[in-house]
Amino acid sequence: MVPVARSDGAGHVLPTWEDIRAFAEHAETVGLDSLWVSDHFFGSFPGAPLEGVHEAWTITSALAAATSRVEIGQLVSCASYRHPGLLAKMAVTADDISGGRLVLGLGAGWHDTEYEAFGFPKDHRVSRLDEYLRIVVPLLRGETVNFEGRYNRAVDAVLLPAPQRRLPVLVAGNGPQLLRLVARHADAWNTAWFGRPDERLRTRLAALEEALEAEGRDAATLRRTVGLAVIDPAHGEEEENAFSGSVGELAEMLRRFEELGFADAIVVLEPMTAGSLDRLAEAIALSRGS
């Protein structure tokens, strides 16, 4: 995850674009595989004071131009915040800027403060995501879409220029209804946030397998990603749903997630610094036996 909010920055100062670019370039230099951007109007969690945060898709496009190798995705774009046709158009353009490195991350949304501040509807968020995916996914496959739903409609909608490749769609979240959407529409799935693997994670994996089976989806065709919170021991102790340990312990933890079937660990680092990136890169190398 790249730093985009005030609490992500050094000294809890909102990171500038120069800060974000330097972080991304260092991540690419040390060999990390992907960069991810959160999508919010405010950078704070419920109950905390509001704080500044940069707009996700502006940063996504800037990262696409500033890097050359890493995948770039969102964890995740909120389906409520942008029209499905507009988001599909944005994704294809950003993918073109990146040279074919974009992963479109989508979710139903959850941050009520943002919904209330800007007048977005809070009802039936998973059902709204269902309709959203029925428009966005076929558009990204180069299809002409006709759809009449309760919340969205499309009439002979098509993306021009057409997508240059099959742009992967990641859907994040949990719960039976949302996992059925993952099984029907997604190329990848994310569940978050975790420290060490726990019973909560195993329960979510079992629920995913049930959804895949119910939809007749080959489990091998779905990329699994997991969101991890990793604290540098010099900056804090281990917390619930956040890991703090040595580089060797972090490497072992990454191996455990891989054994559970995860292809990617999407990591929130504390602090978000070049030193933390170096620790993570060292742990990845150890986990791969190199």
pTM, entire model: 0.96
Query: Using 50, 70 and 90 to split pLDDT, how confident is the model at 23?
Result: very high
224 pairs with which residues across the strands?
189
pLDDT score recorded for residue 145: 98
Query: Are 81 and 42 spatial neighbours (Cβ–Cβ below 8 Å)?
Result: no
16-21: average pLDDT: 98
pLDDT tens sequence across 177-208: 999 999 999 999 999 999 999 999 999 999 99
Residue 267 dihedral angles phi and psi, to the nearest 5° = -110, 130
| pLDDT at residue 290 tops 80 | no
For each of the domains in the chain, give its residue range(s) and CATH number, in order of start: 6-172 (3.20.20.30)
Question: Could you tell me the CA-to-CA distances from 41 to 55, 96, 110, 118 in Å, in that order?
Answer: 7, 26, 12, 9
Question: Cis before residue 161, ω within 30 degrees of 0?
Answer: yes
Q: Are strands 34-37 and 102-107 parallel, antiparallel or unpaired?
A: unpaired
pLDDT tens sequence across 49-76: 889 999 999 999 999 999 999 999 999 9
What 3-state DSSP class applies to 49? Answer: coil
Q: How far apart are CA 169 and CA 197, in angstroms?
A: 25
